[in-house]
């Protein structure tokens, strides 16, 4: 009997804990929460009734209240199968639950005064001649539950069918004490089953949330790259050379950055995220050219010093243009990365570049990579003011710029992997 009472107390406490968790958990819909709360409350009611009947403090004067309590318990206990099915997420359980409890309650209420299912005599509780009625209801409930579990298993394409099988096994095992030892504790098995089911569902909900997050992130990335491609083609429409240039430099910076990682250069900053940002955002490096007039941008031949000063503004305003266009579309990390490339890609390692005259590692790494890509592509390409340089000549010019115009470590990487840039 001590073991029996301990099991009842344990069940009560377990259901209180589960109830508190459901109340404060945000992952379920209101309907799912209601079914779980009903399941847990029903188990608590049945356990409390068992405790009141079997706690050893029986007095014949409690016969009537205990009879009422047991009628309630016997009406609710077979309902657990339906409540549990609702908690499993099966639709249409409300109507079935109402029918189940109505029929059970009616039968138990009619049988109670005659002591057909159970009675309270001088010695307390005893089973009636027709206790089988209660067992029959219970059996129907369990069959119903088994069918529900199978349906749930199908619905989730047998995702973790083992969990469902495990819950079923516990529930079926719960019948043994009732039939063999005459202990009405099947709902203890239901309590364990409901808890397992809750944990299982919780896991499914988490998986769904995770999948949604990944999908949202992918959609956001696609949106960003659409906007960036759109902006890059905006430049292309104004200046054909620059248009092709932005696309080529995108591929160039990706190769150079990956090579730097391979060579173990700047590993404190370089990683896959950096490569991805660098590749996506490099096409925006000349976005500031939007403020440079067509006359200067499309001028054949060399620019005058005034015109060159005008041209230089594209770097100074590049960051601002990026912030204006991308603010709110992407996060600060992305914004500042893109702004750094646009603003500082004409800085020089020796500090004689523009717009700020930054030197060495004060120039953001992304802009230092961009600078090599930008110049190298300009060298090997035909421009309205010049013929293309040969590949070897262009590599030589970059090599000469190491430590003056360009970051010497990055030039080293470029030279070691020169064949990849042909």
Nearer Cβ to Fe ion (80/348): 348
Q: What is the DSSP letter of 303?
A: P
N-terminal to C-terminal alpha carbon distance within the chain: 86
Nearer Cβ to Fe ion (66/232): 232
Q: What is the DSSP letter of 166?
A: H
Q: Taking contact as CB under 5 A, which single stretch among the options 135-143, 159-167, 279-287, 291-299 is the one that binds Fe ion?
A: 279-287
Nearer Cβ to Fe ion (50/377): 377
Asked if 347 interacts with Fe ion (CB under 5 A), we say no
Residue nearest to Fe ion (CB): 286
Q: How far is the CB of 371 from Fe ion (least distance, A)?
A: 9
Nearer Cβ to Fe ion (259/286): 286
Nearer Cβ to Fe ion (286/377): 286
Q: How far is the CB of 242 from Fe ion (least distance, A)?
A: 8
Q: How far is the CB of 30 from Fe ion (least distance, A)?
A: 56
Nearer Cβ to Fe ion (153/355): 355
Nearer Cβ to Fe ion (78/353): 353
Residues 286, 347, 377, 407: which binds Fe ion (CB under 5 A)?
286
Q: How far is the CB of 314 from Fe ion (least distance, A)?
A: 6
Nearer Cβ to Fe ion (107/287): 287
Spell out the residues 6+ positions from residue 405 whose beta carbon is closer than 8 angstroms to its own: 348, 349, 350, 353, 371, 375
Tokens standing for residue 353:
């570049």
Residue 355 vs residues 14, 169, 271, 314: alpha-carbon distances, Å: 68, 74, 28, 9
- The DSSP result for 82-140, as a single string, is HHHHHHTT-SSHHHHHHHHHHHHHHHHHHHGGGTSSEEEETTEEEE-TTHHHHHHHHHH
Q: Taking contact as CB under 5 A, which single stretch among the options 211-219, 280-288, 349-357, 365-373 is the one that binds Fe ion?
A: 280-288
C-alpha closest to that of 256 among 417, 84, 377? 417
Nearer Cβ to Fe ion (245/258): 245
Nearer Cβ to Fe ion (50/286): 286
Please state at what angle helix 30-54 crosses helix 2-24, rounded to 10 degrees.
Answer: 160
| Cβ atoms 78, 104 nearer than 8 A | yes
Q: How far is the CB of 367 from Fe ion (least distance, A)?
A: 10
- The DSSP result for 379-402, as a single string, is HHS-BTTBPPPPHHHHHHHHHHTB
Phi and psi angles of residue 415, each rounded to the nearest 5 degrees, phi first? -65, -40
Q: How far is the CB of 158 from Fe ion (least distance, A)?
A: 58
Q: Taking contact as CB under 5 A, which single stretch among the options 62-70, 94-102, 282-290, 348-356 is the one that binds Fe ion?
A: 282-290
Q: Taking contact as CB under 5 A, which single stretch among the options 103-111, 284-292, 298-306, 322-330 is the one that binds Fe ion?
A: 284-292
Tokens standing for residue 394:
């262009």
Q: Taking contact as CB under 5 A, which single stretch among the options 56-64, 114-122, 286-294, 413-421 is the one that binds Fe ion?
A: 286-294
Q: How far is the CB of 315 from Fe ion (least distance, A)?
A: 6
Q: How far is the CB of 325 from Fe ion (least distance, A)?
A: 17
Q: How far is the CB of 286 from Fe ion (least distance, A)?
A: 5
Cβ density class 290-301: b for 16+ within 10 Å, e for less:
bebeeebbeeee
**Ramachandran category for residue 351: left, alpha or beta (phi over 0 → left; psi -120 to 50 → alpha):** left
Size of the site for Fe ion (CB under 5 A): 1
Q: How far is the CB of 31 from Fe ion (least distance, A)?
A: 58
Please state at what angle helix 240-262 crosses helix 408-416, rounded to 10 degrees.
Answer: 90
Query: By the criterion CB under 5 A, which residues form the site for Fe ion?
Result: 286
């Amino acid at each position: 009997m001590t073991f029996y009472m301990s099991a009842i107390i344990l069940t009560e406490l377990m259901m209180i804990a589960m109830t508190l968790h459901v109340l404060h958990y945000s992952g379920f819909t209101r309907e799912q929460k209601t079914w779980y709360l009903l399941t847990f409350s029903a188990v608590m009611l049945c356990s409390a009734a068992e405790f009141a009947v079997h706690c050893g403090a029986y007095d014949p004067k409690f016969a009537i209240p205990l009879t009422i309590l047991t009628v309630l318990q016997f009406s609710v206990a077979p309902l657990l199968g339906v409540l549990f099915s609702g908690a499993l997420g099966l639709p249409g359980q409300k109507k079935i639950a109402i029918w189940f409890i109505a029929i059970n309650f009616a039968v138990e209420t009619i049988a109670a005064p005659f002591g057909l299912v159970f009675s309270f005599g001088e010695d307390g509780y005893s089973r009636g001649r027709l206790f089988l009625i209660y067992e029959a209801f219970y059996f129907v409930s369990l069959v119903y539950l088994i069918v529900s579990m199978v349906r749930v298993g199908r619905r989730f394409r047998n995702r973790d069918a083992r969990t469902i099988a495990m819950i079923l096994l516990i529930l079926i095992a719960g019948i043994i004490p009732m039939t063999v030892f005459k202990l009405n504790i099947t709902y203890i098995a239901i309590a364990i089953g409901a808890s397992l089911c809750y944990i299982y569902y919780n896991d499914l909900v988490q998986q769904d949330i995770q999948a949604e997050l990944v999908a949202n992130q992918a959609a956001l990335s696609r949106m960003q790259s659409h906007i960036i491609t759109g902006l890059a083609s905006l430049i292309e429409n104004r200046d054909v050379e620059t248009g092709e240039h932005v696309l080529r430099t995108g591929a160039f910076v990706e190769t150079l950055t990956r090579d730097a990682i391979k060579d173990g250069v700047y590993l404190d900053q370089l990683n896959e995220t950096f490569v991805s940002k660098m590749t996506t955002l490099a096409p925006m490096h000349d976005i500031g050219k939007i403020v440079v007039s067509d006359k200067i941008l499309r001028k054949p031949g060399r620019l005058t010093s005034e015109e060159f000063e005008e041209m230089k503004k594209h770097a100074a305003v590049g960051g601002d243009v990026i912030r204006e266009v991308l603010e709110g579309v992407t996060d600060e990390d992305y914004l500042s990365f893109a702004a750094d490339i646009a603003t500082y890609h004409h800085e020089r390692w020796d500090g004689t570049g523009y717009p700020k005259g930054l030197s060495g590692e004060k120039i953001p790494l992304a802009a230092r990579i961009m600078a090599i890509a930008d110049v190298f592509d300009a060298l090997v390409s035909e421009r309205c003011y010049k013929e293309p340089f040969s590949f070897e000549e262009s590599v030589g010019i970059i090599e000469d710029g190491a430590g003056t115009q360009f970051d010497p470590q990055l030039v080293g990487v470029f030279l070691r992997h020169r064949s990849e840039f042909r």
